[in-house]
Amino acid sequence: MPETYDLIVIGSGPGGYVCAIRAAQLGLKTAVVEKRATYGGTCLNVGCIPSKALLHASEMFEQAGHSFGDLGIKVKPELDLAGMLGHKDKVVKANVEGVAFLFKKNKIDGYQGTGRILEAGKVEVTSEKGDSQVLETKAVVIATGSDSAPLPGVTVDERRVVSSTGALSLPEVPKKLIVVGAGIIGLELGSVWRRLGAEVRVVEFLDRILPGMDDDVAKQAQRLFKRQGIDFRLSTKVTGVRSEKKGLRVAVEPVSGGDAETFDADIVLVAIGRRPFTEGLGLEEAGIATDERGRVKIDADFRTNVEGVYAIGDVVAGPMLAHKAEDEGTAVAEILAGQKGHVNYGVIPSVVYTDPEIAVVGRSEEELKEAGIAYRVGKFPFMANGRARAMGATEGFVKVLAEEKTDRVLGVHILGRGAGEMIHEAAVLMEFSGSAEDLARTCHAHPTMSEAVREAAMAAWFKPVHI
């Protein structure tokens, strides 16, 4: 007799593992199928977690070398790259083992192998050795995530031409690193290797960095990253990467036409976006519809066009973020358990973990203009914040966008140290449809960086005090 489940989740990334845990908590007999040797998906194995471990460690290294002196601390740091990579690996191990522990605790069955949907209610699991078994289930959630997008004509070997995965494990600091794409991965991993000593040049197709983020914030961030030593080549495309004995030759040319150039590099990081991963899932044979970008099509309740098959996370439309996948995982588990699961897509924060960090929730000025919504802007620089001065973290600002007519906060953008932690008071405020006045009248502890958030809200509603 084949095993029978209430729910089989295919993929154990933040979407899949959170979905499985919540489903088990709600009483569903649940199994997870994962083809990787460890649970946790892209995020825990080769994404969010290892990149943040290296971002933190390299930031400490840079601060020790460049800004401890301003605080009256004399040190001469020495890089132990193997030790730093070891720290990253330890952090990953602890996190993926944590997921395995949670599965056990919640009595979730784990199957290692590639999951394939044979038809509604039937999932075949094939192990790496080639053995397969068929599991039966009332519902299937596809949570197979995404993979890095290829650059036509450029072969990623994960040694000299790398994706983010290779860039998380370079055995030596490259002398010259060329990053293709000024998106989140390019800026985060470009920052890591620059801090450790690489000369970093970022080649971006568009005329700006961080497309989709508020213009004001992206421009100021670019100025700061340039000052830190990153060279940006905007409106430029990479036309080829040639491997030579000594290194790589990267051919580029302006997007609008003009003279071609070549740059030398030891390592090229291709970070031009990610695409949904559905290989081997059997979507076509099972008749599960995808959109023009290969994402699994779902309705508002995460249902695909095939009865009993749902999908969440990077493999469906929306921002490719771990916490978006997690929230969808929770919502679909609640729906399957007969509750009303829901995700508020208007209030999903996004953080770029550079120094300073960039954090946003809600809409940008450009989006409000395009939607024809009248708004007020309140801005406050960290330069005027006492705690920021005490910490030597005066770069950046907070920007609050509030609807002109109602004062309701529609977007908050923070460029500054610790922005990724500060953004959440704005997220909570926006979940409750709060106004700039609500935020401005909320007492904030002194001295904190968060007082700048309050002051920006004061500026949007009436007037700030400290500037």
The set of catalytic residues is: 446
With tokens 């075949």, the residue in question is 124
Please report which helix (H) or strand (E) contains residue 270, including its range: strand 267-270
- What is the C-alpha to C-alpha distance for residues 206 and 223, in angstroms, rounded to an integer? 16
Q: Which does 382 bind (CB under 5 to 8 A by kind): ligand FAD, ligand NAI, none?
A: none
Least gap, CB of 176 to ligand NAI (angstroms): 17
62, 204, 214, 314: which one contacts ligand FAD (CB under 6 A)? 314
Q: Is 15 in the site for ligand FAD (CB under 6 A)?
A: yes
Choices 78-86, 225-233, 317-325, 379-387; region in contact with ligand FAD by CB under 6 A: 317-325
Q: Does 114 bind ligand FAD (CB under 6 A)?
A: yes
Bridge partners of residue 398, in order along the sequence: 380, 414
The Cα-based distances of 53 to 91, 357, 384 in angstroms read 7, 15, 31
CB of 183 to ligand NAI, least distance (A): 2
325 binds ligand FAD (CB under 6 A): yes
**Ramachandran category for residue 121: left, alpha or beta (phi over 0 → left; psi -120 to 50 → alpha):** left
Instruction: Give the nearest distance from C-beta 144 to ligand FAD in angstroms.
Output: 3
Give Cα separations from 287 to 125, 254, 280 (angstroms): 19, 43, 14
Cα–Cα distance for residue pair 321/14, rounded to 1 Å: 9
Note whether 185 binds ligand FAD by CB under 6 A.
Answer: yes
Percent of the chain as helix, strand, coil, to the nearest 5: 35, 25, 40
Q: Which of left, alpha, beta for 191 (phi over 0: left; psi -120 to 50: alpha)? A: alpha
The neighbouring-strand residues paired with 306 are none
User: SS3 for 192?
Assistant: helix
> Rounded CA gap, 99 and 12, in Å?
9
108 binds, among ligand FAD, ligand NAI, none (CB under 5 to 8 A by kind): none
Picked from ligand NAI, ligand FAD, none, the partner binding residue 186 (CB below 5 to 8 A depending on kind) is: ligand NAI
Q: Of the two residues 15 and 464, which places its CB atom closer to ligand FAD in the complex?
A: 15
Q: Which of 121, 183 has the CB closer to ligand NAI?
A: 183
Asked whether position 151 contacts ligand FAD by CB under 6 A, the answer is no
Q: Identify the residue whose tokens are 């290829």.
A: 150
Coil, helix or strand at residue 218: helix
- Residues contacting ligand FAD: total by CB under 6 A: 36
Q: Which two tokens stand for residue 84?
A: 């730093």
Binding region for ligand NAI (CB under 6 A): 151, 180-186, 188, 203-206, 211, 237-238, 271-274, 319-321, 350-353
Q: Which is nearer to ligand NAI, 123 or 151 (CB)?
A: 151
Say whether residue 323 binds ligand FAD (CB under 6 A): yes
Quote the least distance from Cβ 52 to ligand FAD, whole Å.
6
Interacting residues with ligand FAD (CB under 6 A): 10-16, 33-36, 41-43, 47-48, 51, 114-115, 143-146, 164, 185, 277, 280-281, 313-315, 320-323, 325
